[in-house]
Amino acid sequence: MQVEKISALFDAAERIAVLSGAGLSKASGIPTYRDNGGLWTQEGIIRFSSAAELKKNPEGFRDFWAARQSEIKVAQANPGHFALARLQLLRPAVTLMTQNVDGLLMKAEATGVLELHGSLLRDRCGSCRAVFPSLDEASLAQGSRCPSCGAATVRPDVVLFGENLDARISNAAKQAAKSSEVFLLVGTSAVVYPAADLAKLAVAQGAKLVIINLEPTPLDHLAAAVIHGRTEDTLPRIIELMTSEAGIVRLPSEPHRQLPSADAAQPSVLASLSRWLSRRN
Protein backbone atom coordinates (compact mmCIF):
# COMPACT_ATOMS: atom_id res chain seq x y z
CA MET A 1 0.00 0.00 0.00
CA GLN A 2 0.98 3.61 -0.54
CA VAL A 3 0.98 4.41 3.20
CA GLU A 4 3.64 1.74 3.80
CA LYS A 5 5.66 2.96 0.83
CA ILE A 6 5.64 6.56 2.03
CA SER A 7 6.56 5.48 5.56
CA ALA A 8 9.53 3.57 4.15
CA LEU A 9 10.63 6.57 2.07
CA PHE A 10 10.51 8.80 5.14
CA ASP A 11 12.40 6.25 7.23
CA ALA A 12 15.19 6.01 4.66
CA ALA A 13 15.61 9.76 4.22
CA GLU A 14 17.63 12.12 6.36
CA ARG A 15 16.51 15.32 4.66
CA ILE A 16 12.78 15.76 4.04
CA ALA A 17 11.09 18.88 2.68
CA VAL A 18 7.33 19.39 3.03
CA LEU A 19 5.18 21.89 1.15
CA SER A 20 1.64 22.18 2.48
CA GLY A 21 -1.38 23.96 1.06
CA ALA A 22 -4.97 24.82 1.89
CA GLY A 23 -6.10 21.17 1.95
CA LEU A 24 -4.08 20.63 5.13
CA SER A 25 -6.20 23.15 7.05
CA LYS A 26 -9.61 22.28 5.59
CA ALA A 27 -10.47 20.04 8.56
CA SER A 28 -9.82 23.01 10.84
CA GLY A 29 -12.63 24.91 9.14
CA ILE A 30 -10.38 27.06 6.96
CA PRO A 31 -11.76 27.30 3.40
CA THR A 32 -9.65 26.08 0.52
CA TYR A 33 -9.22 28.36 -2.47
CA ARG A 34 -9.73 26.81 -5.87
CA ASP A 35 -11.62 23.56 -5.43
CA ASN A 36 -15.40 23.22 -5.44
CA GLY A 37 -16.79 25.76 -2.97
CA GLY A 38 -13.35 27.27 -2.34
CA LEU A 39 -12.83 30.86 -1.24
CA TRP A 40 -11.79 32.24 -4.61
CA THR A 41 -14.77 30.58 -6.33
CA GLN A 42 -17.17 32.84 -4.38
CA GLU A 43 -18.41 35.70 -6.53
CA GLY A 44 -16.76 39.03 -5.81
CA ILE A 45 -14.22 37.72 -3.29
CA ILE A 46 -11.12 36.94 -5.35
CA ARG A 47 -10.49 40.63 -6.01
CA PHE A 48 -9.34 41.00 -2.40
CA SER A 49 -6.40 38.67 -3.10
CA SER A 50 -4.83 41.31 -5.33
CA ALA A 51 -2.39 44.06 -4.44
CA ALA A 52 -4.24 46.26 -6.94
CA GLU A 53 -7.43 46.06 -4.83
CA LEU A 54 -5.51 47.28 -1.79
CA LYS A 55 -4.64 50.46 -3.67
CA LYS A 56 -8.06 50.87 -5.29
CA ASN A 57 -10.28 50.00 -2.32
CA PRO A 58 -8.28 50.09 0.94
CA GLU A 59 -11.38 50.21 3.16
CA GLY A 60 -13.03 47.19 1.53
CA PHE A 61 -9.69 45.38 1.55
CA ARG A 62 -9.20 45.98 5.28
CA ASP A 63 -12.76 44.91 6.09
CA PHE A 64 -12.45 41.66 4.16
CA TRP A 65 -9.12 40.62 5.67
CA ALA A 66 -10.14 41.69 9.17
CA ALA A 67 -13.02 39.21 8.95
CA ARG A 68 -10.63 36.51 7.74
CA GLN A 69 -8.19 37.24 10.56
CA SER A 70 -10.95 36.82 13.14
CA GLU A 71 -11.76 33.36 11.77
CA ILE A 72 -8.09 32.34 11.67
CA LYS A 73 -7.42 33.36 15.27
CA VAL A 74 -9.93 30.89 16.69
CA ALA A 75 -9.07 27.99 14.36
CA GLN A 76 -7.35 24.96 15.88
CA ALA A 77 -4.71 22.65 14.43
CA ASN A 78 -6.03 19.30 13.18
CA PRO A 79 -4.42 15.82 13.15
CA GLY A 80 -2.64 16.58 9.86
CA HIS A 81 -0.79 19.54 11.40
CA PHE A 82 0.17 17.51 14.45
CA ALA A 83 1.40 14.64 12.25
CA LEU A 84 3.81 16.96 10.45
CA ALA A 85 5.06 18.34 13.76
CA ARG A 86 5.70 14.76 14.87
CA LEU A 87 7.57 14.03 11.66
CA GLN A 88 10.08 16.66 12.77
CA LEU A 89 10.65 14.62 15.94
CA LEU A 90 11.14 11.37 14.05
CA ARG A 91 13.56 12.41 11.32
CA PRO A 92 16.81 14.39 11.70
CA ALA A 93 16.16 17.17 9.19
CA VAL A 94 12.59 18.05 8.18
CA THR A 95 11.86 21.47 6.69
CA LEU A 96 8.21 22.48 6.74
CA MET A 97 7.11 25.03 4.13
CA THR A 98 3.56 26.21 3.74
CA GLN A 99 1.44 28.28 1.40
CA ASN A 100 -1.09 28.68 4.21
CA VAL A 101 -1.43 31.91 6.16
CA ASP A 102 -3.23 30.47 9.20
CA GLY A 103 -0.32 29.68 11.55
CA LEU A 104 -1.80 26.28 12.40
CA LEU A 105 1.46 24.37 11.99
CA MET A 106 2.95 26.52 14.73
CA LYS A 107 -0.13 25.89 16.89
CA ALA A 108 0.75 22.20 16.52
CA GLU A 109 4.25 23.09 17.80
CA ALA A 110 6.04 22.62 14.50
CA THR A 111 9.32 24.52 14.37
CA GLY A 112 11.15 26.59 11.76
CA VAL A 113 8.14 26.75 9.42
CA LEU A 114 8.77 28.73 6.24
CA GLU A 115 5.56 30.70 5.63
CA LEU A 116 5.86 31.40 1.91
CA HIS A 117 2.78 33.59 1.72
CA GLY A 118 3.05 35.22 5.15
CA SER A 119 0.58 34.99 8.01
CA LEU A 120 -2.79 36.45 8.91
CA LEU A 121 -1.69 36.33 12.54
CA ARG A 122 0.61 39.26 11.78
CA ASP A 123 0.10 42.75 10.39
CA ARG A 124 2.61 45.04 8.79
CA CYS A 125 2.83 48.72 8.06
CA GLY A 126 2.81 49.79 4.44
CA SER A 127 4.87 52.83 5.34
CA CYS A 128 7.68 51.79 7.72
CA ARG A 129 7.39 48.00 7.05
CA ALA A 130 7.15 47.19 10.77
CA VAL A 131 5.65 43.75 11.50
CA PHE A 132 3.57 43.07 14.62
CA PRO A 133 0.81 40.74 15.89
CA SER A 134 -2.44 41.32 14.03
CA LEU A 135 -4.78 43.96 15.37
CA ASP A 136 -8.36 43.16 16.29
CA GLU A 137 -11.13 43.35 13.68
CA ALA A 138 -12.62 46.58 15.01
CA SER A 139 -9.26 48.37 14.98
CA LEU A 140 -8.43 47.26 11.45
CA ALA A 141 -11.87 48.19 10.14
CA GLN A 142 -11.34 51.69 11.50
CA GLY A 143 -7.98 51.99 9.74
CA SER A 144 -5.92 51.59 12.91
CA ARG A 145 -2.52 53.21 12.90
CA CYS A 146 0.87 51.55 12.95
CA PRO A 147 2.22 51.27 16.53
CA SER A 148 5.71 52.13 15.25
CA CYS A 149 5.24 55.13 12.96
CA GLY A 150 1.59 56.08 13.39
CA ALA A 151 0.70 55.75 9.70
CA ALA A 152 -2.80 54.50 8.85
CA THR A 153 -1.41 51.90 6.45
CA VAL A 154 -1.79 48.69 8.46
CA ARG A 155 -2.44 45.54 6.40
CA PRO A 156 -2.12 41.77 6.91
CA ASP A 157 1.40 40.41 6.55
CA VAL A 158 0.49 38.22 3.58
CA VAL A 159 1.72 38.02 -0.01
CA LEU A 160 -0.96 39.12 -2.46
CA PHE A 161 -1.22 38.43 -6.18
CA GLY A 162 1.09 40.91 -7.84
CA GLU A 163 3.59 40.91 -4.96
CA ASN A 164 6.89 39.04 -4.61
CA LEU A 165 7.66 36.42 -2.00
CA ASP A 166 10.02 37.40 0.80
CA ALA A 167 13.46 36.77 -0.72
CA ARG A 168 14.95 35.31 2.47
CA ILE A 169 12.11 32.80 2.90
CA SER A 170 12.03 31.98 -0.81
CA ASN A 171 15.76 31.26 -0.89
CA ALA A 172 15.55 29.07 2.21
CA ALA A 173 12.70 27.10 0.61
CA LYS A 174 14.66 26.58 -2.59
CA GLN A 175 17.67 25.36 -0.63
CA ALA A 176 15.52 22.93 1.35
CA ALA A 177 14.01 21.59 -1.88
CA LYS A 178 17.37 21.16 -3.58
CA SER A 179 18.92 19.32 -0.63
CA SER A 180 15.92 17.07 0.13
CA GLU A 181 15.90 13.33 -0.40
CA VAL A 182 12.12 13.19 -0.15
CA PHE A 183 9.81 16.07 -1.05
CA LEU A 184 6.23 15.89 0.23
CA LEU A 185 3.41 17.87 -1.36
CA VAL A 186 0.43 17.79 0.97
CA GLY A 187 -2.96 19.43 0.61
CA THR A 188 -2.02 21.52 -2.41
CA SER A 189 -3.08 21.51 -6.05
CA ALA A 190 0.48 22.46 -7.08
CA VAL A 191 -0.70 25.19 -9.45
CA VAL A 192 0.37 28.34 -7.54
CA TYR A 193 3.78 29.56 -8.63
CA PRO A 194 6.52 30.09 -7.67
CA ALA A 195 5.79 27.74 -4.76
CA ALA A 196 4.80 24.88 -7.10
CA ASP A 197 8.26 25.04 -8.70
CA LEU A 198 9.81 23.77 -5.47
CA ALA A 199 8.63 20.21 -6.08
CA LYS A 200 10.05 20.24 -9.62
CA LEU A 201 13.32 21.62 -8.28
CA ALA A 202 13.54 18.80 -5.77
CA VAL A 203 12.82 16.12 -8.37
CA ALA A 204 15.43 17.61 -10.70
CA GLN A 205 17.99 17.17 -7.91
CA GLY A 206 17.05 13.52 -7.44
CA ALA A 207 14.49 13.70 -4.61
CA LYS A 208 11.61 11.26 -4.37
CA LEU A 209 8.32 13.12 -4.72
CA VAL A 210 5.38 12.13 -2.50
CA ILE A 211 1.92 13.66 -3.00
CA ILE A 212 -1.01 13.54 -0.58
CA ASN A 213 -4.00 15.51 -1.81
CA LEU A 214 -7.73 15.05 -2.10
CA GLU A 215 -7.68 15.70 -5.86
CA PRO A 216 -5.16 14.76 -8.58
CA THR A 217 -2.41 17.31 -9.24
CA PRO A 218 -0.43 18.17 -12.39
CA LEU A 219 2.65 16.63 -10.75
CA ASP A 220 1.20 13.20 -9.93
CA HIS A 221 3.07 11.63 -12.85
CA LEU A 222 6.41 12.65 -11.30
CA ALA A 223 5.69 11.14 -7.90
CA ALA A 224 7.13 7.99 -6.36
CA ALA A 225 3.96 7.67 -4.28
CA VAL A 226 0.53 9.33 -4.47
CA ILE A 227 -2.45 9.18 -2.15
CA HIS A 228 -5.70 10.91 -3.05
CA GLY A 229 -7.33 11.35 0.32
CA ARG A 230 -7.85 13.60 3.32
CA THR A 231 -4.59 14.82 4.81
CA GLU A 232 -5.99 14.70 8.36
CA ASP A 233 -6.60 10.96 7.91
CA THR A 234 -3.57 9.95 5.85
CA LEU A 235 -0.73 11.78 7.60
CA PRO A 236 -1.45 10.36 11.08
CA ARG A 237 -1.55 6.82 9.62
CA ILE A 238 1.91 7.31 8.11
CA ILE A 239 3.36 8.71 11.33
CA GLU A 240 1.75 5.96 13.40
CA LEU A 241 3.36 3.35 11.17
CA MET A 242 6.75 5.04 11.47
CA THR A 243 6.57 5.17 15.26
CA SER A 244 5.43 1.57 15.62
CA GLU A 245 8.20 0.29 13.35
CA ALA A 246 10.76 2.37 15.24
CA GLY A 247 9.58 0.88 18.53
CA ILE A 248 8.46 4.25 19.86
CA VAL A 249 5.67 3.75 22.34
CA ARG A 250 4.46 7.33 22.52
CA LEU A 251 5.08 10.73 20.97
CA PRO A 252 3.68 13.98 22.30
CA SER A 253 0.12 14.17 21.05
CA GLU A 254 -2.30 16.92 20.26
CA PRO A 255 -4.70 18.11 22.97
CA HIS A 256 -7.94 16.18 23.10
CA ARG A 257 -10.49 18.53 21.62
CA GLN A 258 -13.53 18.06 19.44
CA LEU A 259 -12.77 19.59 16.06
CA PRO A 260 -15.57 20.36 13.63
CA SER A 261 -15.60 18.20 10.55
CA ALA A 262 -14.31 19.80 7.36
CA ASP A 263 -17.73 19.55 5.76
CA ALA A 264 -19.42 21.15 8.76
CA ALA A 265 -16.90 23.86 9.56
CA GLN A 266 -16.01 25.26 6.16
CA PRO A 267 -19.53 26.42 5.22
CA SER A 268 -19.73 28.45 8.44
CA VAL A 269 -16.64 30.42 7.44
CA LEU A 270 -17.87 30.90 3.89
CA ALA A 271 -21.29 31.89 5.18
CA SER A 272 -19.82 34.65 7.33
CA LEU A 273 -17.81 35.91 4.36
CA SER A 274 -20.89 35.82 2.15
CA ARG A 275 -22.87 37.83 4.71
CA TRP A 276 -20.05 40.35 4.90
CA LEU A 277 -19.87 40.62 1.09
CA SER A 278 -23.64 41.13 0.81
CA ARG A 279 -23.39 44.03 3.24
CA ARG A 280 -20.61 45.56 1.16
CA ASN A 281 -22.72 45.31 -2.01
Residues designated catalytic: 117
For residues 273 and 48, what is the distance between their CA atoms, to the nearest angstrom? 12
Residues contacting residue 271 through CB under 8 Å, at least 6 positions apart? none
What CA–CA distance (Å, rounded) separates 132 from 121?
A: 9
Nearest Cα to 75, choosing from 274, 257, 251?
A: 257
Please, are residues 20 and 101 in contact by the beta-carbon 8 Å criterion? no
How far is CA 247 from its chain centroid? Answer: 31
CB atoms within 10 A of CB 122: 17
